Amino acid sequence: MLMAFSACLLLVFLEIFSVFLLSLAQDQSGFISLDCGSPRGTTFREGTTNLTYISDASFISTGVGRSIKQAYRTQFQQQAWNLRSFPQAIRNCYTLNLTIGDEYLIRTNFLHGGYDDNPTTQFELHLGPNLWTTVSTTNETQASIFEMIHVLKTDRLQICLVKTGDSTPFISALELRKLKNTTYLSRQGSLQLFIRADVGATLNQVYRYGIDVFDRVWTPYNFGNWSQISTNQTVNVNNDYQPPEIAMVTASIPTDPDAPMNISLDGVDSTVQFYVFMHFAEIQELKSNETREFNIMYNGKHIYGPFRPLNFTTSSVFTSNEVGADANGNYTFSLQRTGNSTLPPLLNGMEVYLVNLLPEQETDGKEVDAMMNIKSGYGVNKIDWEGDTCAPRAYRWSGVNCSYIDNEQPKIISLNLSASGLTGEILEFISELTSLEVLDLSNNTLTGSVPEFLVNMETLKVINLSNNELNGSIPATLLDKARRGRISLSLEGNTGLCSIISCSTTKKKKKNTVIAPVAASLVSVFLIAAGIVTFLVLKRKKRVKLGLNPNSGTGTTPLHSRSHGFESPVIAKNRKLTYIDVVKITNNFERVLGRGGFGVVYYGVLDNQPVAVKMLTESTALGYKQFKAEVELLLRVHHKDLTCLVGYCEEGDKLSLIYEFMANGDLKEHLSGKRGPSILTWEGRLRIAAESAQGLEYLHNGCKPQIVHRDIKTTNILLNEKLQAKLADFGLSRSFPLGTETHVSTVVAGTPGYLDPEYYRTNWLTEKSDVFSFGVVLLELVTNRPVIDQKRERSHIGEWVGLMLSRGDINSIVDPKLQGDFDPNTIWKVVETAMTCLNPSSSRRPTMTQVVMELKECLNMEMARNMGSRMTDSTNDSSIELSMNITTELNPGAR
C-alpha cells in the first residue's frame, strides 16, 4: 500500500480547531511564540490553543510588518494575521539567545494572505548558515509549515530567510518548544518533520497544544484496509515522549486479522536518511487465552521483536540510527503477527523525521560575539551584516574575509571597516578576533590612542589606521615590529599622534610647570594617610587586648573565629543553624556515615527527614576555603543530579553542611561489594553514568559562570533510595571568571588516578579536566577494577584498557560479575567514549554534552535488549522506551 502524504495535510495547522482542549492552563515554560510583524510590545493569548504570543520585534532588526486581508482573518488563528516581509536585504535573521545543549522543536509558519499583489513566492529558509528548506507559496490562502528538531551547538540560534530570486521572503510565526534532551536523538544533523500521524484517529481533527504538552501537531491518518479500535479507559502516556493520550486511546489494526500492517513510503531521493518513532499501547482487555505479539519488519527482514504492547501503557519504539532507501528502491515497513499471537498487530501513533545534516560549520562563537559587539559598539548599519559572519561563504559579511578549512569552524582573518563612519576609540573587542591578519579602520573619525592590545595580536600582519583623529603616543613595541618588517603599519593623517620620543619631549616642557604643586600635594596626602593608619593600628591593638574580634561591630564574637579568615556570611540567614541545632539533629553525633579529607559525615534527622551532616574537623584556612566554596556553589546550582544543600552551620570554628540523605551510599561501595552481594546490572550502571554525566554537564554549561568540579570520582557519585545518581563534594570546585577566559590557573588539586595530566603539567584548569576524570569513572563502571594497580602490566586503568583494546580483547576488561548479561555493542561504545575522554590533549576530548548523548543512546539500547523479559509481566505499569538498532534501510516519501 502506498502512503502518499501531501502538503495539503499541513494546511490545517492554522485552521481554527476547538475540540478536546483538555487543559488550557498547561505550563508554557520553554516555549517561545513569536507573532511576526506585529508592533513592538504586542502580546496576546490565542483563543483556541491558549498559547501566548509576543511581537518578534526584539529578535530581529530588519523587515517591515504587514497584515493579511481582513476577509481571511476568520479562517486562521491570530498569529497568522500579521507577517514580516523582507523587501531589501538578501539574508534576514532572527537571533535568539538560548542554552547550548538544549533540544528544541522549531516551527516556522508562512501564510501570504494577500498582503501584496504577488502571492507566488519562493525563497530559502536557513537554520544558522545551513539550508533548512525552500519555501514556496502559490496563492493567498495556502499555508506552509516546517518543523525541525534541533540540539543547540551554541548559545545563539539564528533562523534566516534568504532571497534567491525576484520574490520577497516573509514569515508569519516562529515557534520554539523546548523538548526533553532524552528524546529525538540523532547521531548527526537535525530532524526535519516528514509526518506525525495519529494512527487510528476516529475524528478528522488535528491536535496540538492543550492536547500535546510539547505542542507537537498530530494529523489523523488511516489506511483503507485498516480498522480502528478505541478505549474509554485511561492510557498511561508518561514516558519521555509523552504522546497525547487522545492519540493513544485509539489504534489501527488490519481489517484482515491474518494480514500484516504494511506502510510503504516513496518519492524521496535515495540519499535521504531518516528516523522513525512509533508509539504503542494495548487498549483492549485481553482474555487469558488471548495474546497480541508481532515482529517489526523492513523489506522482508526482521528488525525487532517479538513485541507485545503493554496494557494501557505507552511504549515508544524508535530507531537509534538513521536509515534510508535500499538499493532496490523498496520502502515497506511491516508489523507482522507471530505464530504465538491470537490477535493482529496494532499501531497508535507514528513519527517520521528526515535527517538534515547541516554540514556548514558556524563561525567560531567567540569571534561571532566579538563581531556583534563591534557592530553594536560602532553602530555599523550594513544591510548584509545579518546571520553568521562567515558562513555560508556566499553570504559572508561585507568587509570580512574568513579562513575555510574542512571540518573546522571558519575564522575571521580580515576586517575592513574603512570609510564606515566609525567614531569613538578603537574597541578592544577587536582583540578577540584571534586569527585576524588584516585590520583596516582607515578614513573614519576614530579618536583616542593606538591601543596596546594591537601589539599582542600575533597573527596581525597589516594595520591601517590612517586618516582618523587618533592622538597620544604610538606603542613602542608596535613601532619596533613595523621597523623590523613584521607588520605593515599605516598611521598617516592622524595629526595628534606622536612617537614615544616626540611625546616625551613635549611632556617634559609641561612637567616643570606642575612638579612643585604636585609634590606638595603628595606630601600632604602622605601625612594624612600616615595619621589615619596610626590611629587604626592603635585602635586594633586595644580591641585585641580586650579579647574582642576586630572584624565584629559588636565585639561579641570570640577571637578564635579569625583563624578561618572570615569575610562575610557565605549563605542566607534563613538556612543557618546553630551548633546546638547540629548536635540535636545528629543525636550528639551518634552515627558516622563516612570520613573524608574535609571531615566526618554524620547521620541526622531534620524536620522528620533524614539528612547527612558534614562537619569540618580541623580549623584550617584550606578547610574553610573548601567549606565556603561548597556552600556558595550549592546556593546557586539546582539540578536533580546534584546533591541538594539543606542547611549549614557557621559558628566560630564549628562549620558544617547539611545535605539530603543519600540512602545507598556512593558508587564505589556498590562496585566493591561493600553494600552487600547485590550486583549493579549493566543497565543500572549505564543509568548511573548518564545521570552523573547530566549533573556534570549542567555545571559546565548550565551555570553562569561555568563551574569545574575538580574531583570527579566514584566516591563522589552518591545514590539515593531509588539508586538515582547525584554528584557530591564540591569543596574543590572552581568557577571560571566572567569574560572570555578559556581556563584559569590554579594550584593542582584532585585525586591521583583521576587527575587530568594536562592540568597537572600546566596548572591550567578547564572543564575538560572534569571530562578526563569522568572517563576514568566510565572505565571503573565497565571493569570494576582499581584505578591504580601496580601489579598490572599497565598501572593506570586507562593505559591498561588501551593495551587490552590494542589486542582486541574487550571481554577481558569487562567486570566478570556482569556474567555476560550486556549488549557488547554498548560496552564497546562506552569504552570508546571513555578512551576519548582520556585523550592526553584536552582539546581532543569531547564535551560533557557529547558524552551525555552517547551514554543515553547506550542506555536506550540496553533497555531495548532487556525489553523481552519485561514484557512478560503484564502488571508492570511503568512506561518503557525501546531503541531499535535497525541496520536495514527505509526511505520516506514526499509531502
Per-residue pLDDT tens over the stretch 191-214: 999 999 999 998 888 999 999 999
pLDDT tens digits for range 836-863: 999 988 888 999 999 999 999 899 888 8
For 551-661, give the CATH class: alpha beta
pLDDT score recorded for residue 886:
25
Of residues 564 and 728, the one with the higher pLDDT is 728
pLDDT tens digits for range 155-178: 899 999 999 999 999 999 999 999
Fold designation for 365-510:
3.80.10
pTM > 0.75: yes or no:
no
> So which residues are the catalytic ones?
711
Instruction: Specify whether the CB–CB gap between 591 and 601 falls below 8 A.
Output: no
In the block, cell 523538548 appears at 179
Element spanning 378, H or E = helix 365-378
Q: Do 666-737+748-846 and 9-179 have the same topology in CATH? A: no
pLDDT score recorded for residue 650:
84
Pairing of strands 64-67, 82-85: antiparallel
pLDDT score recorded for residue 524:
46
pLDDT at 523 over 80: no
pLDDT tens digits for range 219-250: 998 877 899 999 999 999 999 999 999 999 99
- 438: pLDDT confidence band, cut at 50, 70 and 90? very high
- 867: pLDDT confidence band, cut at 50, 70 and 90? low
Point out the least confidently predicted range of 301-310, 378-387, 743-752, 869-878.
869-878
pLDDT score recorded for residue 260:
94
Helix locations, 493-620, DSSP H: 500-511, 515-545, 579-585
pLDDT score recorded for residue 350:
94
Point out the least confidently predicted range of 59-63, 337-341, 815-819.
815-819
d(CA 680, CA 667): 10
CA 701 to chain centre: 7
pLDDT at 872 over 90: no
Instruction: Specify whether the CB–CB gap between 115 and 122 falls below 8 A.
Output: no
d(CA 50, CA 27): 11
Which residues pair with residue 471 across a beta bridge?
496
Indicate the length of the chain as a whole number. Answer: 895
d(CA 201, CA 472): 77
pLDDT score recorded for residue 518:
41
Instruction: Specify whether the CB–CB gap between 677 and 843 falls below 8 A.
Output: no
- 865: pLDDT confidence band, cut at 50, 70 and 90? confident
Instruction: Specify whether the CB–CB gap between 564 and 619 falls below 8 A.
Output: yes
pLDDT at 66 over 70: yes
Instruction: Specify whether the CB–CB gap between 181 and 702 falls below 8 A.
Output: no
pLDDT tens digits for range 366-416: 999 999 999 999 999 899 999 999 999 999 999 999 999 888 899 999 999
Q: What is the mean pLDDT of the chain?
A: 82
Cα angle 864-865-868, degrees, rounded to a multiple of 5: 90
pLDDT score recorded for residue 841:
87
pLDDT tens digits for range 12-62: 333 323 333 333 345 788 999 999 999 999 999 999 999 999 999 999 999
pLDDT at 103 over 50: yes
d(CA 368, CA 366): 5
Task: Give residues with Cβ within 8 angstroms of 166, minimum separation 6.
Answer: none
d(CA 136, CA 698): 41
In the block, cell 587586648 appears at 545
d(CA 417, CA 440): 6
CA 239 to chain centre: 21
pLDDT score recorded for residue 616:
77
The b/e string for 412-422 (b: 16+ C-beta within 10 A; e otherwise) is bbbbbbeebeb
Architecture of the 9-179 domain: Sandwich (2.60)
* Residue 329 cell numbers, joined: 528502491
Regarding the domain with residue range 666-737+748-846, which homologous superfamily does it belong to in the CATH classification? Transferase(Phosphotransferase) domain 1 (1.10.510.10)
pLDDT tens digits for range 122-141: 999 999 999 999 999 999 99
Is 614 annotated for ligand binding? yes
d(CA 222, CA 257): 16
The percent of residues in the chain predicted with pLDDT above 90, rounded, is: 54
Domains of the chain: which residue ranges? 9-179, 198-357, 365-510, 551-661, 666-737+748-846
The b/e string for 452-483 (b: 16+ C-beta within 10 A; e otherwise) is eebbebeebeebbbbbbebeebbbeebbebbe
d(CA 393, CA 362): 11
What is the CATH number assigned to the segment(s) 198-357? Answer: 2.60.120
